[in-house]
Chains A and B, each alone.
Chain A
């Protein structure tokens, strides 16, 4: 093999494989955020993104409300308005991180602050089948109508009685925890801000 062939090999391979290190476990997007927002707020004609930078007072309230500390100090709320400017609903994407990777849900709330829809949006290659198995039990439907402070007992009971195995049950419980976190974030940072907390 001549020098020219060696140089050609270098020229072709170096740029291509330079990023081979820095190995990561990629997440699997189960549903795109835009699709969740569009499908769960069908009456909205215009959409907005509200980004809240958490302050110390609200961090304390979140910790008291849901016994968790957000991993990001900025929380995004996507909301839609109809043609007359009335609020149609709010969507946020709370995420719970575990040793098996992140579990993220798209949590849609109506103008009254009750849950309208829960849709898993992010998992990993490992956890995707667990999430799908948990979702097939239909337990996410039991979240609908709940608001902050209400425990999802019926949903968890439906999940645990479905006999789907340990890991799918674990995945379902993580989704339920993400919903609880989302409700707390909504209550403190979004609903609270409408009464003057965040500005």
Chain B
């Protein structure tokens, strides 16, 4: 059952670091949510608009240009939808995939002390690393023109959130949970 160490029995400083890491990570995720909502949107259609390129291939264009004109009210004019082009996605990928790996590794350090079964522990570790990888896999597949993969990026976000919440609850239970039952069982 046990991992590399027991967070429940660890030094107070270790517990403090684990709890604060998880809470501050959640704090950062809240702002990440607002950033994504503002710049990419939360629906598959909005996410696809952000990443799927509008390719300009001569073969798919009409022979002659055409245009439409409409009156414009500047006071209600909306900003253009944020778009992530290939160059920007390269930059995003090289930074964020590395950060995802670091966060997953730090969460793993906490997971190893939660006393979970080996199978469950490995599953959560796998999901912690995999969700970040799937996030960018979805973005690159969309960049390849496959808008349907917006669901993969959105689903990986939910997966990352699920991992976070599971580890947070495990951490809080280990640190603040009632140890009397366990101590009584150990004493009996």
Contacts and interface: CB of A to CB of B under 8 A. Distances in A.
Interface of A: 1, 5-6, 9-10, 13-14, 16-27, 29, 32-34, 37-38, 46-60, 69-74, 78, 93, 97-102, 124, 189, 193, 197-199
Contacts of A14: 161-162, 165
A193 B157 contact: no
The list of the 8 closest CB pairs from A to B, nearest first, reads A21-B157, A17-B29, A198-B65, A55-B65, A20-B32, A20-B29, A19-B36, A47-B72
Contact of B77 (A26, A33, A59): A33
B82 A27 contact: yes
Nearest to B150: A22
B88 A25 contact: yes
A72 B139 CA distance: 19
B56 A24 contact: no
Most B CB within 10 A of own CB, among A24, A48, A97, A124: A24
Contacts of B182: none
Q: How large is the interface on B (under 10, 10 to 19, 20 to 34, 35 or more residues)?
A: 35 or more
- Chain B interface mostly: helix
A97 B88 contact: yes
Interface string B25-49: 0101110110111111010000100
A1 B54 CA distance: 51
A17 B161 contact: yes
Given A46-B71, A51-B68, A55-B65, A23 B56 contact: no
B154 A22 contact: yes
Given A24-B35, A37-B77, 14 more contacts: A1-B169, A14-B165, A17-B30, A22-B156, A47-B72, A55-B66, A58-B65, A71-B56, A73-B54, A73-B61, A78-B72, A97-B86, A98-B87, A193-B67
Contact of A193 (B42, B65, B153, B169): B65
Given A10-B165, A17-B33, A73-B56, A48 B64 contact: no
B187 interface: no
Nearest to B32: A20
A62 B111 CA distance: 57
A124 B176 CA distance: 43
